[in-house]
Amino acid sequence: MRLLVLLAGLPLAAAAQDPGTHELLGQLGSRATLLTLHATRNPDASWQLAGEYVILPTLQRRFVDGEASPELGVTTLREGDTPILFGRAPTGELRGVWRGGSFRGMRYAPGGQERERFDFSEEFPSLEGYSANVHCELRDASLDYSVAGGRVRSFDWRARSGDKSCRASGLAQQPMKGGIRLAAGGCRITLRDLGEGVRVSAEGCSAQCAEPALLEPLLVDRRGNCEAFRPQARVP
């Protein structure tokens, strides 16, 4: 499946997406949705894409893949119920234009019928005014942090699996637009406002963990309660 992007009248370099992971927040019809795309460059200068979108109120998800070409104008992402979509019947398509951090268009049924419009952006709500004192205990994790006006005063995140554990603490806050980022060494913790709550996620923190323990993403609601951010397969 292909994701094809046209930036008419603009230089080729301006058309290309950056390699790496792109997160986009927006609406799929009337539902708040998080779209994650992983982009890698092909030898022919096109972009290979794979990822998923998650309907935030229900944490239901669909997987997507495609290929981005800067020369053509139609933007299409094939979607399905599993990460491997090759050889499987699609559950729909997202067709639109991904440009300047925005991806807008229409979702279609497998038969080509229009289902719902979508509008995603790489711009997330600012957390500059965010203040919270969070202390929550889950079965396999605990999270404690204090934030005032977007500045982190303290942060401690622990997870366990049997007798193995993880811990992220003593990290330094770094500048970040559309969220809060803490880092130490290669470990990065990111807080982002998804509308349904603030998601806390970790990247590159394996040195802080003894396998199989992991710092799995958590969602903190407006009252400071936590739940595991674990999307479930199949979107209705």
Residue 4 placed within a domain: no
pLDDT for the residue 234: 59
**Domain co-membership, 26 together with 79:** yes
**Domain co-membership, 22 together with 113:** yes
pLDDT for the residue 72: 53
**Domain co-membership, 218 together with 174:** yes
User: Mean of the pLDDT values across residues 29-52?
Assistant: 88
pLDDT for the residue 85: 77
**Domain co-membership, 20 together with 101:** yes
Tokens of 139: 């079965």
SS3 (DSSP) at 155: strand
Q: How far apart (Å, rounded) are the C-alpha atoms in residues 232 and 200?
A: 18
Range of the domain at 196: 132-228
Residues 6+ apart with CB under 8 A from 36: 21, 22, 23, 24, 51, 52, 53, 54
User: Are 120 and 33 within 8 A, CB to CB?
Assistant: yes
Residue 1 placed within a domain: no
**Domain co-membership, 117 together with 69:** yes
Model-level pTM? 0.85
**Domain co-membership, 110 together with 50:** yes
Residues 6+ apart with CB under 8 A from 146: 132, 133, 134, 152, 153, 154, 155
**Domain co-membership, 108 together with 148:** no
Q: What is the DSSP string of 88-135?
A: S--SEEEEEEEETTEEEEEEE-TTS-EEEEEEEESPPPP-TT--EEEE
pLDDT for the residue 39: 83
SS3 (DSSP) at 232: strand
Count of structural domains within the chain: 2
Q: How far apart (Å, rounded) are the C-alpha atoms in residues 41 and 191?
A: 28
**Domain co-membership, 208 together with 108:** no
79-101: pLDDT as tens digits: 998 887 777 888 999 998 888 88
